[in-house]
Amino acid sequence: MAPEIGIIGGTGVYNPDILTGIREEIMSNRYGQAKVVFGTYKGREIVFLARHGATHSVPPHLVNYRANIWALKEIGVRRILATAAVGSLNEGMAPGNFVLADQFLDFTKNRLSTFFDGEELGVIHTDMTHPYCPSLRKILATAAQSLDLTVHEKGTYVCTEGPRFETPAEIRMYHILGGDLVGMTSVPEVVLAREAGICYATIAMVTNFAAGISPTELSHQEVLDVMAANGKNLSTLLMNTVEI
């Protein structure tokens, strides 16, 4: 049976170790290649994709988002649970908290961000009123209730081009514009999933307060450390969600 659920693991989430009967495959499509891992959790078929590669070797601006989403579509995935490490611009969203993003602000610059480039699939303008799937966000919120976690059910994700972190001036601007979180990967991933007709939700995990809000300079190691400290919570939330 084809898996209906896809998990895209972001920074700190490379290993589908909770799955059994694991089988790896490299899928080729018109956009490139995507490495996926098939497995089973409590009788449910799941496919896992490490966004940055198994060893975090692909930076956010070079991820082949189109090849990844197209591969999941070809497999027959109907729902994607994506994880993301984020900085926070919102004092109420502290490191260790989870946020189910409901909106985004797109500040990416150089990414191939559509399947509808006027070629084979034509020109289509996709509605983005609800970029992150409301029904999947609800399931995630329900799954989180039984866990001792702080989960915010809404948040605006500001997507930057990266791979550098932001300046404090940029963070002040994003805050004025209504941003809550800052990260480097949700766009175009969420957009492509919408274009592909796949229900997509992001579980953002706050790893730090953003530049200028944090009392210290940022480092990738800090992001990895907080992800590692909360990895168990994140996988429990993911697996509770898959069970619903």
Interface residues toward ligand HPA, by CB under 6 A: 85-87, 160, 165-166, 182-184, 207-208, 210, 218, 223
**In the bound complex, what is the minimum distance in angstroms from residue 183's beta carbon to ligand HPA?**
5
**In the bound complex, what is the minimum distance in angstroms from residue 166's beta carbon to ligand HPA?**
6
Distance between CA atoms of residues 69 and 2, nearest Å: 16
Closer residue to ligand HPA in complex, CB, 3/179: 179
Strands 98-100 and 199-209: antiparallel
11 is in an annotated binding site: yes
3-class state of residue 176 by DSSP: helix
3-class state of residue 5 by DSSP: strand
Closer residue to ligand HPA in complex, CB, 32/95: 95
208 is in an annotated binding site: yes
**In the bound complex, what is the minimum distance in angstroms from residue 94's beta carbon to ligand HPA?**
13
52 is in an annotated binding site: yes
Cβ-count burial of 239 within 10 angstroms (0-12 exposed, 13-18 middle, 19+ buried)? Answer: middle
209 is in an annotated binding site: yes
Cβ proximity of 13 and 202 under 8 Å: no
**In the bound complex, what is the minimum distance in angstroms from residue 98's beta carbon to ligand HPA?**
13
Closer residue to ligand HPA in complex, CB, 11/199: 11
**In the bound complex, what is the minimum distance in angstroms from residue 207's beta carbon to ligand HPA?**
5
Distance between CA atoms of residues 201 and 190, nearest Å: 8
Strands 44-50 and 32-41: antiparallel
Dump strand ranges (E) for 94-164. Answer: 98-100, 103-107, 151-152, 156-160
Select the residue whose beta carbon is closest to ligand HPA and give its number: 87
107 is in an annotated binding site: no
**Binding residue positions for phosphate:** 11, 51-52, 185
**Binding residue positions:** 11, 51-52, 184-185, 208-210
**Binding residue positions for substrate:** 184, 208-210
